[in-house]
Amino acid sequence: MKLSIVIVNYNVKAFLQQALESILKATKTIDTEIFVVDNHSVDGSIEMLQSQFPHIQLIQNEANLGFAKANNQAIKMSTGEYVWLLNPDTLVQEDTATKLIEVMEADQEIGLLGCKILNDDGSLQLACRRSFPTPWVAFTKLMGLANIFPHSKWFGRYNLTHLDPNEAYEVEAISGSCMFIRRTALEEVGSLDETFFMYGEDLDWCFRFGKSGWKVYYTPVTSIIHYKGESSKVALWDTNTHFYRAMDIFTRKHFKSTSRFPIHWVLRLGIFARYILSILSKISQNAAAYILDLSGLLVITLIAIFMKFRTLDVLDQYIYVLPVYLVSWLAVITSLGLYRTYKYSVSRSILAATLGFLINVTLTYFFKDYAFSRIVMLISYFGALLWISGWRLFASTRRTENFQLGTQRTLIIGDYEGAKAVFSRLMTNLALGYTPVGIVTTDGIEHDDDRIVGHLNDLLDLVQYHRIDDVIFTSDNVELSKIFDFLPTLSQQGVKIKLVPGNLSFIVGKSAVENLQSVQFVDMDFKYYHAGSRIVKRLEDLIIGPILYLLLRPFQALVVKSKSMTMVEVQINKRNYTIYKMLDGRVSFWSNLSLLPLVIRGKLSLVGSPIDLMDKGWDIKRGIFSLESVRGGSQLSKDERYSLLHYYLHNHSILLDLEIIIKAFLGK
């Protein structure tokens, strides 16, 4: 056996599937055995392996034994001349295995080999070549000198940032996410130290290889992608604590001696200090949104008081009530999930501002002696409405979270059939947050489909022209080396690259693993048909409809003319009405504003079924806006149109209606 590959998996099914598919491509001509050690995953990894990769040797653990112990299980069973430890969240090129073997066979003194490891944005993952944390190296890292002077030989030794990553050389340590080991060296040095549960075992192993006289070597002849930390995201333990505990174990094991006793304790104290700083850093990351809201609401309230009284001398009268009002605002914002799940939701921001205003007005009514003027409250409300939603809209101009329906403009690349299937699933699976813009085919065949926007050779130009946020490759049909070539340039433009494995079930990217499989609505409890929803929807039409009619309807003719929109006749309740469409058949925000009087009269709704969609007997009003009006309606098949309507009926809420109206207005 030439090569034994060992992967330890813990609840990263989609990444593992992608890694295995890339490994199989890279080892087609090499006599290879593959071991997957599963540390008691509960995400369906076992079932996926058994059904899609039955030839792989699977070791199932009844508990999470940690990284070192799980690797050792497979290493003991392996028979290859070389052993390759890989993380499940890696992606290898077609030539990676071959080139690593060539490097090993060219230099018989290399015991442990690592290659260039890239982040998902194409940047170098610094841990792929590094030094041991000796007192000086640790000091420069802890004090930030390594970051300030990365190209200095004295200060840049921790991650060897003073060395060219495109050159090969002997190093002290490589990353545990990709370790290529010579069998004879492994037998001499021994297996991984199982004292380490997670983190540190790779550094310890490198130390032992070097101490035994074997070279630990770095080569740039090939590269892999490592979606760093994916297993840690789903871990049920504190990975931050495990990392610093591992560093402490390494320090005690290799630097504890009589002569170095003081240095040993200095290093341990430094590790503990770094651990505390990392905790404080995590807390501060979540505090930014709170600080923005609190400071903004405070300033807005002070401005409102000044506008009412023309002075701030009255503040002493509100010394107790001001904090209460601010806490009320923050409590509502928090309860609506605007600091966690829906951090950038515009509709929830509007709702938070409104509910906060109503609560504070209620407090004003019951505690008149300690209350703000109602004029102050009204001014504060409009200010809060603009601030709470405004900064989120600004901060999320390139984020999916801004809208439930998604603003991530996306290209799908692959063979026609695969790309078409992904396009359709993205178009109708709204929870994923993508807006498919077009398809780029790689099969070299001309297809008569308006969704095809160009060729792979023109990808960079297509990304710029269509203002693309995400590029999704169907990985079975595009050479991974080509994807690697696109990584740096696209990342510099802020474009995310994601992959869909061969079964078209998942989108794999750094930010998330998203399920592409069709949603089966087992329960038929459609929220649209709830009595309360119908009442709220009618109130929504009566409140927002007249506002749109008064503020925007007068500008419809001007917009229609400027966009060269075409006039179309539609029949509603056996009467003909005029609407407008774009030259390509799409419906815009301005298309149906002439029908707003019908909304006020109850004949139509602001948001509902598309006006030209055939009625299937569902009791739903037609709307001047619909889901498909913000999903590129002219590109949808009939089945996709009904899928979107089905989604709307099942998930209806006033927030979803607001999302559709806002997104239609912004043209996103």
Residue 659 backbone dihedrals phi, psi, to 5 degrees:
-60, -45
Residues 6+ away with beta carbon under 8 Å from 543: none
Q: What is the pLDDT of residue 168?
A: 93
Mean pLDDT of 279-288: 64
User: 29-38, 288-297, 355-364, 460-469: which has the minimum mean pLDDT?
Assistant: 355-364
Give the pLDDT band (50/70/90) at residue 74.
very high
- Which token pair is 22? 């890339």
Burial class (CB in 10 A: 0-12, 13-18, 19+), 354: middle
CA distances, 256 to each of 130, 139, 203, 259, 318 (Å): 21, 17, 16, 8, 61
User: 155-164, 210-219, 287-296, 511-520: which has the minimum mean pLDDT?
Assistant: 511-520
Using alpha carbons only, what angle is made at residue 498 by residues 495 and 499, rounded to the nearest 5 degrees?
A: 155
Mean pLDDT of 492-505: 71
Query: Assign residue 454 a region: left if phi > 0, alpha if psi is -120 to 50, beta otherwise?
Result: left
Name the residue with higher pLDDT: 322 or 395: 322
Q: What is the pLDDT of residue 107?
A: 94
Q: What is the pLDDT of residue 234?
A: 45
Asked if pLDDT for residue 399 goes beyond 70, the answer is no
**Domains along the sequence of the chain with CATH:** 3-129+165-233 (3.90.550.10), 132-156 (no CATH), 286-400 (no CATH), 405-515 (3.40.50.720), 527-666 (no CATH)
Residues 6+ away with beta carbon under 8 Å from 597: 549
The CB-based long-range contact list for 276-284 (8 Å cut-off, 24+ gap) reads: 278/240, 278/244, 279/240, 282/240
Question: Which is it for strands 434-441 and 452-455: parallel, antiparallel or unpaired?
Answer: parallel
**What is the C-alpha separation between 667 and 409, in angstroms, rounded?**
12
Lookup result for tokens 């940690």: 66
Mean pLDDT of 46-64: 91
User: 99-113, 413-427, 471-485: which has the minimum mean pLDDT?
Assistant: 471-485
Name 36's bridge partners.
7, 58
Q: What is the pLDDT of residue 184?
A: 93
Radius of gyration of the chain (CA): 30
Q: What is the pLDDT of residue 72?
A: 92
Summary mean pLDDT of the chain: 80
Asked if pLDDT for residue 320 goes beyond 70, the answer is yes
Residues 6+ away with beta carbon under 8 Å from 252: 264, 268
Name the residue with higher pLDDT: 551 or 248: 551
Give the pLDDT band (50/70/90) at residue 106.
very high
Give the pLDDT band (50/70/90) at residue 96.
very high
Mean pLDDT of 472-495: 76
| DSSP category for residue 318 | G
- Secondary structure class of 663 (helix, strand, coil): helix
- Which token pair is 361? 């007005």
Angle of helix 239-255 versus helix 201-211 axis, rounded to 10: 20
Q: What is the pLDDT of residue 175?
A: 86
Give the pLDDT band (50/70/90) at residue 521.
very low
Give the pLDDT band (50/70/90) at residue 272.
low
Name 605's bridge partners.
623
Give the pLDDT band (50/70/90) at residue 315.
confident
What's the count of helices (H) and strands (E) in the chain, helices before strands?
22, 20
Asked if pLDDT for residue 520 goes beyond 50, the answer is no
**What is the C-alpha separation between 590 and 16, in angstroms, rounded?**
47
Using alpha carbons only, what angle is made at residue 293 by residues 287 and 294, rounded to the nearest 5 degrees?
A: 85
Q: What is the pLDDT of residue 369?
A: 59
Mean pLDDT of 14-28: 89
- Which token pair is 186? 């492994």
- DSSP conformation letters of 575-592: EEEEEEE-TTS---TTTT
Give the pLDDT band (50/70/90) at residue 502.
low
Closest to 116 measured CA to CA, from 174, 199, 181 = 174
Asked if pLDDT for residue 595 goes beyond 90, the answer is yes
Q: What is the pLDDT of residue 642?
A: 82
Print burial letters for 627-636: b (CB count within 10 Å at least 16), e (below 16).
bbbbbbbebb
Give the pLDDT band (50/70/90) at residue 197.
low
Q: What is the pLDDT of residue 285?
A: 60
Q: What is the pLDDT of residue 182?
A: 95
Mean pLDDT of 25-35: 93
**What is the C-alpha separation between 559 and 117, in angstroms, rounded?**
51
Against a cut of 0.75, is the pTM above it?
Answer: no
Q: Are 263 and 135 in contact (CB under 8 A)?
A: yes
Asked if pLDDT for residue 254 goes beyond 80, the answer is no
Closest to 263 measured CA to CA, from 200, 271, 152, 196 = 271
**What is the C-alpha separation between 281 and 265, in angstroms, rounded?**
24
**What is the C-alpha separation between 44 and 332, in angstroms, rounded?**
37
Name the residue with higher pLDDT: 122 or 436: 436
Asked if pLDDT for residue 654 goes beyond 80, the answer is yes
Asked if pLDDT for residue 668 goes beyond 70, the answer is no
Q: Are 534 and 526 in contact (CB under 8 A)?
A: no
Q: Which amino acid is at 237?
A: W
- DSSP conformation letters of 474-532: EGGGS-HHHHHHHHHHHHHTT-EEEEE-TTS-EEE-SS-EEE-SPP-------GGGSHH
Say how many residues make up the chain: 668
Burial class (CB in 10 A: 0-12, 13-18, 19+), 14: buried
Give the pLDDT band (50/70/90) at residue 75.
very high
Q: Are 404 and 659 in contact (CB under 8 A)?
A: yes
CA count, 13 A, side-chain hemisphere, 511: 11
Name the residue with higher pLDDT: 139 or 189: 189
**What is the C-alpha separation between 596 and 607, in angstroms, rounded?**
11
Q: Are 98 and 106 in contact (CB under 8 A)?
A: no
**What is the C-alpha separation between 346 and 400, in angstroms, rounded?**
12
Closest to 84 measured CA to CA, from 95, 68, 100, 69 = 100
**What is the C-alpha separation between 79 and 91, in angstroms, rounded?**
24
- Secondary structure class of 194 (helix, strand, coil): coil
